[in-house]
Structure 1
Amino acid sequence: MARFTFTLPDIGEGISEAEIVAWHVKIGDRVEEDQGLADMMTDKATVELESPVAGTVVELAGEPGDQVSIGAMLVVIETEAEVEAAASVESIKEPVVEAENPGVEEVASAATGTAPAEDVQPAGEPAPQPIEHVVAQEAKAEQVLASPAVRARAKELGVDLAQVRTTAERIRHSDLDAFLLYGQGQGYRPAGASRKRPDESVKVIGMRRRIAENMAASKRHIPHFTYVEEIDVTALEAMRGDLNANRGDRPKLTLLPLIIVAVCKAIPDFPMINARYDDEAGVVTRHGSVHLGMATQTDAGLMVPVIRDAQDRNVWQLASEIRRLSEAARSGKARSEELSGSTLTLTSLGPLGGIATTPVINRPEVAIIGPNRVIERPVIRDGEIAVAKLMNLSISCDHRVVDGWDAASYVQALRRLLETPVLLFDQ
């Protein structure tokens, strides 16, 4: 009887430990080679670790939220096929499914009150083979967008993700909650209807804990101040419409790439904005390149992928990079180097907009910029009432490094560029 100890590998440069975000296995489970074992988080990147051997899980390092050191035991696997532990697990699973395809679990579950598909076939029609049914369900579920943590929870509950309804791009934990609460096939209750739900205790781990720690440190160490200015983007929106109408095979432009161009063009006159402050060493580094962080909401929480050398990219290149990085962050495929090293951050609530925001600085940066929703309002021009498209632009700054005059002057420079958008393309 042999045992294989899988130790936590070095999954990030300079990383000494990683946090357990989710287990994909439990003690007694049979695992195959290359089967997912756990999601581990280092810095801001989450990595799924796979088993290098086949066997039965006999020991796990800890619970979600625990830290594991590089080189320490993560999982112990019994590598002989015929062992008592494996037999005890096999005995409670469907024999046909486990024999033909070990490691694949049935999707139908008593947790949702549904019977396996072979028990509900219409009279006169042949029932599919159990393994074919399970594989088909697994394949269908794989087509659904969901984070690894959501998939792991759905697998544990025996929920087919293909049956879960969502109003977002990806299935979230709240969608699973609604599915389990209201029953299969019912989805969300009609507007106005509500149902009492039990209290829920949620352990703050993984990305959520990192966000909490970083935001608390930012507010604790940085004396924030926020400045908000109203900007007339009527001409900018008209130009954006013209660019999109003639874009050919290039990506469709939102306002963000145009705002980024303005942010970068104004930086040389205000180098204190594009800086990082090492408060322990008492050193402010004013960066020559703009490595722009893009605050992005994901199922795991807020992530900040970075557009490297944003000042060297045109609007089309920026639009492509925004899309690529956002998709990578939301799918959990963003690399560690794509999630660090920003010198200035831009945060936008997109369609939610808002009138004004007071964003929290992404420490150790010294400023964060937040464009808000564009709205149409009447304005007075040359003594006459006209309709304009207006947007408030917010900036939060570290008052130890950036004075109020500097922040206001920088935003006024942005305002001139955005209200006269032809200047954005002036070399």
Structure 2
Amino acid sequence: MSRYTFRLPDIGEGIAEAEIVAWHIKIGDVIAEDGPLADVMTDKATVEMESPVAGRVVEIAGEVGDRIAIGSALVVIEIEGDGDGAQAASAPAAAPVPVKAETPKPVATPEPVATPEPVAAPPPPSVAAPAPAAPTARVLASPAVRARAQDLGIDLAKVQPGPEGRVRHGDLDQYIAYNAGGFAPAGVKRADEAIKVIGMRRRIAENMAASKRNIPHFSYVEEIDVTELERVRAELNAAHGNRGKLTLLPFVITAICRAVPDFPMINARYDDEAGVVTRYGAVHLGLATQTPGGLMVPVIRDAQDRNLWQLAREIGRLAEAARDGSIAAGEMSGSTLTVTSLGPLGGIATTPVINRPEVAIIGPNRIIERPMFVPDGHGGERLAKRKLMNLSISCDHRVVDGWDAASFVQAMRKLIEAPSLLLV
């Protein structure tokens, strides 16, 4: 028998380290050749490591959330015969990183989160639990009253009995009426819990912190009348439903692509270390997407070359791939400008955080209906119900001036409020 040390390989992205986000094995497991060992995350993607040999796992390096250097020992496997001279380790001490010799808790999910022991002390007996506590022997009540209290989740010990000391249906009704009148506790107390920030969540935290730390943000919000655009969108969906469904986002992206050539500083990236701003001719649009693992930003390549239907299909494809984890690493980098939208959640206005090293991020907000004064066609005004939406933009003030940001949004407003300009 000999030992084979599997070292974390260079995944070909020029990285120095990777984060362990999931273990598929534990010490003592027998693993087949090409069997999964662990999932590791780089700056761009999560990669599954596979064993090049069959054998029994005797040591693993680190726990979920730990970062290890490229070339460091990831797993030590006991194998039949002689080990590979290039990878074999004569003893555990040969591993360049501390290797955990004790059996860790197995990790079963792609992005596990260890469940800690509750931090807070158990709630006092006076706090109502979700299920009713068993009534004490001193509580007198008929079986029917007890059954009803159990169905309602009421602890009979908390119900004020009648003069004879027995809880009757009327006493139960009074208890229910009292609590329904606003005297019940506001909610149920939960135990505190500590969640380790790892994987995608840690990557998001680091990127957002770096963006706010290094970029002097400013935001600008403008109200846009989207009544006509919503009418055109409904007509296009009714006439061309076989092509798919158009949401507001393809129209916003088209307006961005039409306005950007006159404001090239918006579609740019700033290398603050080199002191160089690169203005891009093509719009590679980042699409902020909420996924089960956290916020991801897939990229619509050459958005300026796509029509409304092509944009709608690409938005749907990238969002689905990001959420189910099938998105390619190359589709997660290289954006020059980002759009973020909360969709149905909307919001009156947002101040989004810039996707560094970009210099701007745009956020359409919720559409609401409000009365407005509009021209009546005879030189006067009339009151009409209109659909309105606030459009937010955050910019890097080192690169983009407030006047330029406001002028860019006004150019977008002109296009959105006259959607025929987007269709020619």
- Per-residue CA deviation, residues 322-354 of structure 1 (Å, 9 max, x unaligned), is 111111211222222211111101000111100
Per-residue deviation, 1:358:
0.3
The alpha-carbon distance between structure 1 residues 373 and 248, as it changes in their structure 2 partners (threshold 3 A), is closer
Deviates more, 1:203-212 or 1:256-265: 203-212
- CA contact under 8 A between 2:9 and 2:71: conserved in structure 1? yes
Deviation of 1:148 (Å): 2.2
Q: How does 1:257-276 map to 2 (within 5 A)?
A: 257-276=250-269
Q: Offset of 1:37 from its aligned partner?
A: 2.0
**Matched residue pairs, number?**
328
1:278 to 265, 271, 274: 271
Aligned counterpart in structure 1 of residue 365 of structure 2, from 362, 372, 378:
372
Q: Give the equivalent residue in structure 2 for 1:125.
A: none
Q: Secondary structure at the match of 1:58?
A: strand
Stretch of structure 1 that moved more, 10-19 or 278-287: 10-19
SS of the equivalent of 1:47 reads strand
Do residues 390 (structure 1) and 409 (structure 2) align? no
Q: Contact 2:299/2:332 (CA < 8 Å) preserved in 1?
A: yes
| C-alpha contact (below 8 Å) 1:354/1:372 kept by paired residues | yes
Q: Deviations over 1:343-383 (max 9, x none)?
A: 10100011110000000111111100000011111111132
Q: Deviations over 1:393-424 (max 9, x none)?
A: 00001111111110111000000110100101
- What is residue 285 of structure 2 aligned with on the other side? 292
The residue type paired with residue 260 of structure 2 is: I
Q: Which residue does the alignment assign to 1:94?
A: none
Structure 2 counterparts to residues 133-144 of structure 1, below 5 A? none
Contact preservation (8 Å) 2:268, 2:280 = yes
The answer to which of 324-333 and 391-400 deviates more is 324-333
Match for 1:149: what amino acid? E
User: 1:247: Cα distance to partner?
Assistant: 2.1
Does structure 2 retain, via aligned residues, the 8 Å contact 1:229–1:394? yes
SS of the residue 2:420 aligns to: helix
SS in 1 for 2:243: coil
Corresponding residue to 1:404 among 391, 397, 402: 402
CA contact (8 A) 2:21 2:110 kept: no
Task: Report Cα offsets for 1:24-77 as digits up to 9, x if no partner.
Answer: 221122333443321110113112223333332211111122222223221122
After superposition, the C-alpha distances for 1:238-281 in whole angstroms (9 at most, x for unaligned) are: 11111111225322111111110110010000001001111111
Point out where structure 1 has 5 or more consecutive residues left out of the alignment.
82-104, 108-146, 155-180, 183-188
Deviations 1:297-318 (A, max 9, x none): 1122111111111111111111
Which residue is equivalent to 2:307?
314
In 2, are the aligned partners of 1:12 and 1:42 still within 8 Å (CA)? no
1:86 matched residue in structure 2: none
Q: Distance in 2 between matches of 1:3 and 1:424?
A: 65
Identity %: 72
Cα separation, partners in 2 of 1:246 and 1:193, compared to 1, 3 Å: farther
In the alignment, which residue of structure 1 is the partner of 2:295? 302
State the TM-score, normalizing by the size of structure 2: 0.73
Q: What is the SS of the residue equivalent to 1:360?
A: coil
Instruction: Compute the displacement of 1:237 (Å).
Output: 0.9
- How do residues 120-269 of structure 1 correspond to structure 2 at under 5 angstroms? 148-149=110-111, 194-269=187-262
Is the 8 Å Cα contact of residues 378 and 387 (structure 1) preserved in structure 2?
Answer: yes
The letter of the residue matching 1:266 is A
CA distance, structure 1, for counterparts of residue 6 and residue 303 of structure 2: 41
Does the CA-based 8 Å contact 1:227-1:407 persist in structure 2?
Answer: yes
Question: Which residue does 2:58 correspond to in 1?
Answer: 58
Q: Greater share of helix residues, 1 or 2?
A: 1
Partner of 1:5: 5
1:336 to 2:334 alignment: no
Among 313, 316, 326, the alignment partner of 1:323 is 316
1:18 paired with 2:25, answer no
- Structure number with bigger Rg: 2
Cα contact 2:23–2:38 (8 A) shared by 1: yes
2:46 alignment partner AA = T
Counterparts of 1:38 and 1:395 in 2: how far apart (Å)?
Answer: 40
Pick the aligned partner of 1:350 from 324, 343, 346. Answer: 343
**Residues 65 and 199, structure 2, Cα contact 8 Å, conserved in 1:** yes
1:149 match: secondary structure: coil
Contact 1:44 1:303 in 2 (8 A): no
SS where residue 328 of structure 1 aligns? Answer: helix
Contact 2:224–2:390 (CA<8 Å) still a contact in 1? yes
- Give the structure 1 partner of residue 37 of structure 2: 37
1:298 to 1:148, Cα distance in 2 relative to 1, 3 A:
same
1:144-187 per-residue CA deviation (whole Å, 9 max, x = no partner) reads xxx7225x979xxxxxxxxxxxxxxxxxxxxxxxxxx99xxxxx
State the alpha-carbon separation in 1 of the partners of residues 212 and 421 from structure 2: 36
For 2:171, the equivalent position in structure 1 comes to: none
